[in-house]
Chains A and B, each alone.
Chain A
Amino acid sequence: MRVGDSSFYTRLLAGLALQRQRSDEDLGRLADGKNVRVGSDDPSGHHASMGLRARLTRIAGYDRAAGSARTDLVTIERVLTEAIGVVTEARTEALAGASGPSSSANPIRADQVEALRDQLLLLANTEQGGRYLFSGTQTRTAPFDPTGGYFGNGDEVDAPLDANQQVGATLSGQEVFLNGVDLFTALDDLVQALRINDTTAVAATIPTLTAGLDHLTAVHGDVGIRLRTIDQTIERHADETVELVRRVGEIEDADIAEVIVGLESSETATAALSQAAARYLGRSLFDYLG
């Protein structure tokens, strides 16, 4: 085919522009290490990556909620441990007060049990970060008044751990301290019995306190299970996050070695084109005519 002089230049410019465009694209990939940034880079990859990233962010949200629930439940667990200690101590006093020889010390025991009751009330009204942990979902209301009257509700604050998975982050004080066994009334009865040195009445409080202790221990165990659930979920999320990040990287990240090879290839092609242009372009028969 006949080739005119302008065709040489047109082809040279097109070739140089193409190499420049490839180098620019490769440099962009090298700059941020990404192969997929927008939909047109890889429509299906971009779509998949958006879904994976949404899940990653959602997991971060769940983990934050789980973290806050964990903080509450750790406190509740500590409070329950202390409450068990308080009731155990009261029961010990009841056992001692119910036996004949030491009954003369019962009025002193009454004062001790009264202090234990106040301590239990304090524990039942535990507040953390502006929320009462034993008010159910009435978290801004102190659950118990000094008489042991309950002002919370029977619900629990549900903290989300994942889609369709929640964990109770607070407890109902009614469920913990009043359900089955009214611990405050039991302690009041014990104080009263000790104060008047009625050993029969004192003895009568022992089964109640034992049942209360069993109940607190069961609740404590339930809180432990909740904490384990949270830990397992966070652990599962960590594993899932690693996998999601790996998949996002697989889709989005550029193969740096490939990019560098591409850049070198463009550079070589540009150099070859330029050298050829310098050598051959602009030459014609005129250069050889005398």
Chain B
Amino acid sequence: MSLFGYFSLGLQSMNAAQVGLQVAGDNISNVFTPGYARRRAQLSPGFPVQVPGGYLDQGVVVARLQRMEDMFTQASLQREQGRHAGSEERLRGLRQVESLFGSLDQGGTIAAALAGFSTALTEVAAQPENLALRRSAVSAAEGLARSIRGTYDRLRAQRGLEDQNVQSLVSETNSLAEELARLNREIAAAESSGDVSAPLRDQRTLIVEELVRLTGGTAIPGANGRIHFSLPGGPTLVTGDDALPLGTSIAVDGTTRILSGADGRDITDRLREGKLGAILYVRDETLAQKMTGLDTLATEVINRANALTTGAFDLSGAAGGVLFQPDPPGGAGVAGAIAVDTALDQDPALLALSGTGAPGEGDIALLLAAIPADSLPGLGGRSPQQFLADMQTDLGDDIVQVDVDEEVSRALVESFTAQRDAVSSVSLDEEAVALIESQRAYEAAARFIQVLNSMTEVAVNLGGR
């Protein structure tokens, strides 16, 4: 190499140091930027040339700018983020459902109303001709109907809210899927030269993480840096450059169903992961079960109470009518319609409490009072109080289980995040050292050029003597 050739070698060295400085600056700027994976300039010796005695490298070149990422840890983190988002959302939904049943001390709950009904009917059984006690008994029956109806209405409203959440999340999922497909296209185009487009990949990582959190789906690496995304159970959401948006339809019961693919396959029941799956679980399983449970409870209470009162006599000795409406109960939605017969509201003397027609005989009142604690065949041989307690305990068990899942999942997310950050996150200490390294390399290269300049000057001056 000629003496002048060494100038370009020094320049290369200064350029490499400048790139190092730029990378450090970039990393420092993005120390807290979400999704940012630190960069590293990978330097390599220049192409070797033969010199007397062997080969020498031709300075230094920036081989490539690396985006520091551990794909395996990232995939594990994403999977766990999906689970955690699902657990968190499920916990939120279940806790809301639980709050609708009220707490132990709270008045107006179904448990309190069942107890109140029993107390009022027990009291009137001792004085069935007492109109004030009859009014209290009718009022307690109304309280029971109102608490069942109120809880059912709140469950129904909650299901409506969860349904709105489903629609909103489907729309969000579709937007993210479009975004992922666009980034796939841009990354494929940008990386066709072989270089990694770190900024686009950072953006895409955030999009994929959000998609996983929403749906619990899986990102699958494809050709040319593309990422495919499939939903739990297999349906594809993004295939390379194309997004296959989810569709929706409204079912007979008024809930939103989720459709996938060109043929509009209903995949609602397969989605049980991520935020969307958690909301669907709460809407279609927890809320649906509790509403059905209340329907069963209301049906049994109506059937039992009405069977007793219609076979009995009112205060005037006339044949008794029903206590609760609707009669017959009907089926789905009965818990939202249960009410005391309006005739009793106006005249509590019509409440049939006597088995013989004698006004002072309250055997039927006593049997009505026992309904909350009676084993009823439609409740699987359990009493309404046991049935209700079981319903709330099942919900409590579910919440405890999900709470444990959420804690485990949160710990795993923290652990995987720490592992990912060990590779990807920026350390200001490291960047400070990198800055000093680059600065020193630049200074040394400049000094090298200065020495070359002196040498060249000496060589030029040789000819001048």
Q: Which residues of A contact B (CB under 8 A)?
A: 1-7, 9-11, 14, 32, 34, 36-44, 46-47, 49-51, 53-54, 57-58, 60-62, 64-66, 68-69, 129-131, 135-140, 153, 155, 157-160, 163, 166, 169-170, 252, 284-286, 289
Contacts and interface: CB of A to CB of B under 8 A. Distances in A.
Interface stretch (B13-21, B144-152, B184-192, B355-363): B355-363
Interface residues of B, number: 69
The 10 closest A-B pairs by CB, nearest first: A39-B396, A4-B425, A139-B360, A61-B119, A57-B115, A284-B428, A61-B122, A40-B399, A137-B358, A159-B126
Contacts of B388: 50
Interface in B82-137: 94-95, 98-99, 101, 103-105, 111, 114-116, 118-123, 125-130
A164 to B, nearest CB: 10
A131 B422 contact: no
Contact of B417 (A10, A65, A129, A130): A10
Given A9-B32, A57-B115, A68-B127, A38 B98 contact: yes
* B interface SS class: helix
A162 to B, nearest CB: 10
Contact of A4 (B386, B395, B427): B427
30 contacts: A1-B418, A2-B423, A2-B427, A3-B422, A4-B38, A4-B426, A6-B421, A7-B418, A7-B425, A10-B417, A14-B414, A37-B105, A38-B99, A38-B103, A39-B396, A46-B104, A47-B389, A47-B393, A51-B385, A58-B115, A64-B119, A129-B127, A131-B127, A137-B354, A138-B359, A139-B360, A158-B366, A252-B104, A285-B432, A286-B428
Contacts of B363: 158
A110 to B, nearest CB: 37
B31 A5 contact: yes
Given A3-B422, A47-B393, A285-B433, A32 B125 contact: no
B362 A158 contact: yes
Contacts, number: 204
Contacts of A163: 370, 373
Contact of A61 (B104, B129, B369, B392): B369
Interface of B: 31-32, 38, 94-95, 98-99, 101, 103-105, 111, 114-116, 118-123, 125-130, 354, 356, 358-363, 366, 369-370, 372-373, 385-386, 388-390, 392-393, 395-397, 399-400, 403, 414, 417-419, 421-429, 432-433, 436
B390 A47 contact: yes
A58 B383 CA distance: 14
Contacts of B389: 46-47, 50-51
